[in-house]
């Protein structure tokens, strides 16, 4: 009996508020707009239709409505069970700075698999590197190559990796034709030890128009 009383008390101590949040400029619904009970951690967001539903604890009096690029509003709950809100634009955002190196502007996303297009003539002077391996390491997140020391012939041929795979699993094509692998087997605890890779640094970076990196697995 005591448990039933406690459950009934907790149910009746809350109030459900529903409504819709839209834009004042064109009346369109605002998806993922934030709704929160002021002074508490209770909150909710709107769906694709701009509607929301939130459980308001007893004693709460104010709801806060906010959305990026719009002026926030505070509305007193009172006896209302449905609160529709129209937000006006007015919050000016600062300049957006992209700090990631993987952007849509250089990736062909309409293809069957994503392919990074790197125009070498446009970036070669900005990277501060002369070796093709190092240029790609600084530009492409999926590509990695590190210089080796005290590692026999690997001091002269830097093993390259793509998405963490071994150097012998990286297929290199030049104008559509497969580039031969080197005859060096990486030893002495180097990266990709026991594997044979392609020597990319033998290709002059200034002679390359662009590099295309397949960002997905492929059999050929």
pLDDT digits (tens, 9 = 90+) for 13-55: 678 899 999 998 888 999 889 999 888 888 889 998 999 999 8
Hey, what CATH topology would domain 14-87 get? Answer: Immunoglobulin-like (2.60.40)
Q: How far apart are CA 181 and CA 160, in angstroms?
A: 12
Same fold, 14-87 and 104-214: no
Q: How far apart are CA 9 and CA 210, in angstroms?
A: 69
148, pLDDT greater than 70:
yes
Q: Domain locations in the chain?
A: 14-87, 104-214
Per the model's pLDDT, the better-predicted residue between 77 and 10 turns out to be 77
Residue 140's beta-bridge partner residues?
Answer: none
90 neighbors 66 (Cβ within 8 angstroms): no
Mean pLDDT of 116-141: 81
Per-residue confidence band for 6, with pLDDT thresholds at 50, 70 and 90: very low
Report the candidate in 46, 64, 48 with the shortest Cα–Cα distance to residue 56. 64
If you average pLDDT over every residue of the chain, what do you get?
78
Place of tokens 């300049």: 95
Q: How far apart are CA 65 and CA 19, in angstroms?
A: 11
Per-residue confidence band for 217, with pLDDT thresholds at 50, 70 and 90: low
Hey, what CATH topology would domain 104-214 get? Answer: Ferric Hydroxamate Uptake Protein; Chain A, domain 1 (2.170.130)
């Amino acid at each position: 009996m005591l448990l039933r009383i406690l459950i009934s008390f907790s149910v009746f101590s809350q109030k459900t508020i529903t409504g819709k949040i839209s834009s004042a400029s064109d009346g369109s619904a605002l998806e993922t707009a934030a709704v929160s009970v002021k002074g508490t951690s209770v909150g909710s967001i709107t769906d694709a239709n701009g509607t929301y539903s939130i459980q308001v604890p007893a004693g709460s009096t104010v709801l806060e409505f906010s959305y990026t690029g719009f002026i926030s509003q505070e509305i007193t709950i009172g006896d209302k069970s449905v609160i529709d809100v129209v937000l006006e634009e007015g919050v000016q955002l600062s300049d957006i700075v992209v700090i990631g190196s993987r952007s849509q502007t250089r990736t062909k996303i309409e293809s069957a698999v994503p392919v990074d297009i790197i125009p070498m003539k446009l970036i070669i002077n900005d990277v501060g590197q002369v070796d093709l391996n190092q240029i790609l390491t600084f530009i492409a997140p999926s590509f990695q190559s590190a210089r080796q020391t005290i590692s026999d012939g690997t001091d002269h041929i830097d093993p390259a990796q793509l998405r963490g795979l071994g150097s012998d699993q990286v297929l290199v094509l030049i104008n559509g034709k497969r580039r031969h692998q080197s005859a060096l087997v990486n030893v002495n605890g180097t990266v990709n030890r026991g594997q044979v890779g392609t020597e990319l640094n033998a290709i002059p970076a200034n002679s390359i128009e662009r590099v295309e990196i397949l960002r997905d697995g492929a059999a050929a």
